[in-house]
Amino acid sequence: MKVLANDGLDQSGIDALSEKGFEVITGKVPQESLIDFINQNKIRTLLVRSATEVRKELIDACPSLEIVGRGGVGMDNIDVEYARSKGIHVINTPSASSESVAELVFAHLFSGARFLQDSNRQMPLIGDSAFSKLKKSYEKGIELRGKTIGIIGMGRIGQEVARIALGLGMRVIAADSNVGKASIKVKFYNHQYINVDIETEPMEGILRHADFITLHVPAQAEGYMIGEKEFSMMKEGVAIINCSRGGVIDENALIAALDSGKVSFAGLDVFINEPTPSREILNHPKISLTPHTGASTLEAQDRIGLSLAHQICSILQVQ
């Protein structure tokens, strides 16, 4: 039985599948050649991340496909309902990367709060000749402790963000139309823990009261979740992080808000027109940038690989 992991698969997943008799192919097949490759090799399981698209055309043209798997949470690059209507199992790993994405949110927050996104650019250039000037320009950093973080989207990742924020001593407020209350269990190294209940509220309250805003929502079918109107409602000097999906934030409105000082800094892991973000976004000194690496930790990829392998074996009834 052949499995094509077209966007790669952690060795743990490869080993788990190989032990059960699967042939795992990890060579990248270009999108335009994917249909021919699947049919020629009679691929039964296609695993993707965010790069490969599984649309109606491919589903109709590849009768050997039984499983389509997404290593991660969002499945907007897969025509999920259509695939299922054709009898194809569609699986993902919704909890495997929550911790990794949440930690990246705070990497961006800490970077922006202490100007690391700019100082890491400037120090190699002029650190030896303008050290005192740079020190002066970065002297107004802020602490996260005691500040209010607003989480838009209280699914698994949003709740993990809340858990870290509570551990840092932050006030957490949240908005989610599908979640009324989230019970967050904050664990400590000595096996002690506390439970904190967070009641969600309308998004307008988050926009008005949060010092930091982080988004954990699906791709938008149309329009932006955060645009010029939403920025105008925010506190002066707010910061915003997007590690969810490109297109959730209007990037032109973001740049205008950064330039005006309404937004003090932003952290972006995802972009409109990904994988070719705009140069204006990439070159802005107030934006901390990563190339869609929210789930790209060794631990998360290990969990993703094992989760996919377990689900594939269960569906195909491989003991």
Phi and psi of 292, rounded to 5°? 55, 60
Per DSSP bridges, beta strands 263-268 and 238-242 are parallel
236 catalytic residue (yes or no): no
How far apart CA 249 and CA 268 sit, in angstroms, is: 10
299 catalytic residue (yes or no): no
Tell me which of 156, 163, 292, 303 is the catalytic residue: 292
31: DSSP letter: G
CB 267 within 8 A of CB 242: yes
- Angle at alpha carbon of residue 30, lines to 69 and 299, rounded to 5°: 45
Of 249, 258, 235, 107, nearest in space to 173 by CA: 235
How far apart CA 303 and CA 16 sit, in angstroms, is: 12
How far apart CA 201 and CA 195 sit, in angstroms, is: 19
Which residues make beta-bridge pairs with 287? Answer: 266
Tell me which of 53, 66, 103, 274 is the catalytic residue: 274
Cα atoms in the Cβ-side hemisphere of radius 13 Å centred on 240: 30
Provide CB contacts within 8 A for 105, sequence distance 6+. Answer: 161, 164, 214, 241, 243, 267
How far apart CA 237 and CA 112 sit, in angstroms, is: 12
How far apart CA 200 and CA 197 sit, in angstroms, is: 10
Amino acid identity, position 38: I
Tell me which of 44, 245, 284, 303 is the catalytic residue: 245
57 catalytic residue (yes or no): no
CA quadruple 143, 148, 154, 159: dihedral sign: positive
In the numeric block, which tokens belong to residue 290? Answer: 């990563």
Catalytic residue positions, numbered? 245, 274, 292
